[in-house]
Amino acid sequence: MTARRDIEAITERIRQRSKAGRERYLGRIAEASNQTANRSVLSCGNLAHGFAVCSPSEKLALGADKVPNLGIITSYNDMLSAHQPFETFPALIKEAAREAGGIAQVAGGVPAMCDGVTQGQPGMELSLFSRDVIAMSAAVGLSHNMFDAAVFLGVCDKIVPGLVIAALTFGHLPAVFIPAGPMTTGLPNDEKAKVRQLYAEGKAGRAELLEAESKSYHGPGTCTFYGTANSNQMLMEIMGLHTPGASFVNPGTPLRDALTREATKRALAITALGNAYTPAGRMIDERSIVNGVVGLHATGGSTNHTIHLIAMAAAAGIALTWQDISDLSEAVPLLARVYPNGLADVNHFHAAGGLGFLIRELLDEGVLHEDVQTVWGEGLRPYAVEAKLGVDGSVVREASPRASGDEKVLAPFHKAFQPTGGLKVLAGNLGHAVIKTSAVKPERRIIEAPAKVFDSQQGLNEAFKAGTLTGDFIAVIRFQGPKANGMPELHKLTTVLGILQDRGQRVALVTDGRMSGASGKVPAAIHVTPEAVEDGPIARIHDGDIIRLDADAGTLEVLVEGTEFALRRTAEADLIGNEFGFGRELFAGFRQLVGRADHGASAFGTA
């Protein structure tokens, strides 16, 4: 009951803080709905351009506003495993729309980049900004004002948050998110990680490393570890933007196709032309956002969402803060162990009972808001199910199992892996930061050690190769924030720091950059804000300064006398190398406009 009261109190706090912004937002989408609920506002010339390639019967129906028209926003490309399955989705959606008496058109495409391809490369500096580009690209597609609802085809890291921002910006339209699902299980993630470490130590060759990576990332679908991509799918389901049970069904299966057809028909059913009008901007409210944060904590999800959820909420006029996220962590236990928080992958999680089991456990204990609206209708309880294929090829749903199929992967509420969530916010004289605790052993969550300061991840990796990273230390990697260079993920540090920790050294990371959902066993205080380029305290740390990171107490401190530390000159870095090449010059405006990490690292401002 205490957890339930805490959830309610935090939700009410968010509601009161957001009241003015939320009212303005709801007023805007009400006005948009009045102006755009049908195509009668378009001139004949507008309409002729909009349905020029449609069939005669479709032109007649669209011109007379007789049937709902569904806009498809797709992130398809055939280079990236998570997005390749979307190639066949538009045709399937159009067919399902016709069967339901509607029409569907591809409204536009959005870029979809893969952090796995750009890790450690210059292109990674565009990754976070791509979220806002995706939102704008989707807005361009929907701006034609031809649509009564939209379906969004997206899966991975920045794509889904960007699409959510777009869906909420066009909040007068119903929005259904349609996933492609995870790839089937390949080489276990922990075995892949071992080969990476052997390669970094010179004990394995490039051919062995490539073989291991290829066996892990081997086919269509999202990567199977629980990073940002799969955290996205959890969020879409627990926030009611997926149909129930849709998140973790593999691509290319009859059930996956059946779920896509069903989602299409549901999107058409909730337009203003029907009896169940469900505009996305009204559907997603403070309770939905809190449910998303609860799900993130309960599953040990991606640290990236401490940034994305704030930006997503802001798009609906809701002011979510890191303090809200941190306080919710204290009320929500960790119920899932999926790599890097355990050895299982998302397919094992799904087989053990998946989101249906987890949602039911959280609902029964009152730590999720049940009284929300979803694309499926009223209440979250209908999501406590498992989707299966019926004998006629349609989707049927059964109540989620009462017992977990594997309690080492998915625990019931009263056998939680830890009493608090998988993420925590740190505060102290270095500002604020985020740490993912779910993958870090309890005995490693407190470390006090001298700083080794670098202005890039390359600097630390070179020090490792030179053999100078000896003894216990806390690596400080600065000038990696959104204004400095777009806040790239620093995964090249994961292997090196893991090797040193395995050798018996006590090590940790402090950075104003990101590590994402793949943050692993080394304690990492990330997203430090204010960032170094904004004269944040991280820019005043010297080599040898003692830093104390206490993930249990939620503190991050440099143990230097206060006056001395305040009077230090802030370091400067030559960032000219981050400004050109691989398209980075085109994003100079983003680096100037972007907000702080704890405000969503957005170019669009805050709620």
Specify binding-site residues for [4Fe-4S] cluster.
Answer: 156, 223
CA angle 131, 496, 188 (to 5 degrees): 70
Q: How far apart are CA 571 and CA 543, in angstroms?
A: 12
Distance separating alpha carbons of residues 122 and 203, to the nearest angstrom: 27
**Binding-site positions:** 156, 223
What DSSP element (H or E) covers 314? helix 305-314
Ramachandran region, residue 554 (left: φ > 0; alpha: ψ -120 to 50; beta: rest): left
In whole angstroms, what is the distance from residue 80 CA to residue 82 CA? Answer: 6
Whether omega for the bond prior to residue 382 falls within 30 degrees of 0, making it cis, is no
Q: Phi, psi (5° rounding) for residue 53?
A: -100, 5
The length of the chain is 607
Distance CA 605, CA 607 (A): 7
| CA-wise closest residue to 314 among 33, 528, 24, 113 | 24
Q: 356 to each of 67, 155, 403, how far by Cα in Å?
A: 34, 19, 11
Residue 175: burial class (beta carbons within 10 Å; 0-12, 13-18, 19+): buried
CB 307 within 8 A of CB 527: yes
Cis bond upstream, residue 340 (ω within 30): yes
The Cα–Cα gap between 396 and 386 comes to 8
Adjacent-strand bridge partners of 524: 509
Q: Rounded to whole angstroms, how far apart are CA atoms 263 and 204?
A: 46
For residue 395, what are the β-bridge partners?
A: 389
